[in-house]
Copies of this chain bind each other. A is one copy, B any other.
Amino acid sequence: MDEHILPVELEKAYRLLNHGPTVLVSASHAGVDNVMAAAWSCALDFAPPKVTVVLDKTAATRALVEHSGYFVLQVPNMGQLELTHAVGSMSLAETPDKLKRCGVELFHVDGFNAPLVAGSSAWLLCEVIPEPRNQQHYDLFIGEVVAAYADSRVFHNGHWHFETADPRWRSLHYIAGGQFYAIGESAVIGVNDHGAA
């Protein structure tokens, strides 16, 4: 694993998704790897950390998630803008060499049965919590985060550092029609964070 990639404490893993980035979803089953883009992914719980992601029934990646029970959510960055749009636009069913054509390089973490996309800013390694009604009726998958990593050049000490990192590390926030926004400037208020409402 790249020397810049460091583990993220599980209790702080939600922070990797809290600002609502578009993610890359990767999975593998029976020797087939795939990666797709998903704007509809969200944190669901702090401890143990859980996430949601919407996987359409037409997505080849969904079948790999269902069969293997594992997936990775990665937070892509401006340096992966074209890759992110390409894996979200091209179908593995129609384009068997999709990953190669999209310039996706995969790597693995020992003992985890899903591939990670190199060059991303963060990775949440997830085990599916089976919820058949959500999956069938809403295309909604819930995962428990069993490990998390981030590139220390943009996330360290439990916080993103977009404002000081190279702009290529900014997260991507998809709208529609090929249009993304990069995350912008930091704004900090007080120190209270008990979250009551």
Contacts and interface: CB of A to CB of B under 8 A. Distances in A.
A186 interface: yes
Contact of A187 (B37, B78, B139): B78
A192 interface: yes
A186 B181 contact: yes
B184 A178 contact: no
A193 B89 contact: yes
The secondary-structure label for the interface of chain A is mixed
Interface stretch (A53-61, A106-114, A119-127, A146-154): A53-61
Contact of A179 (B34, B188, B195): B188
A76 B54 CA distance: 24
A91 interface: yes
A176 B15 contact: yes
Interface in A5-36: 12, 15, 18-22, 34, 36
Query: Which of A34, A90, A197 counts the most B-chain CB atoms under 10 A from its CB?
Result: A197
B45 A42 contact: no
Contacts of A42: 20, 40-42, 52, 54
Contacts of A193: 89, 176-178
Contacts of A190: 85, 89, 178
Given A15-B175, A39-B20, A160-B175, A197 B78 contact: no
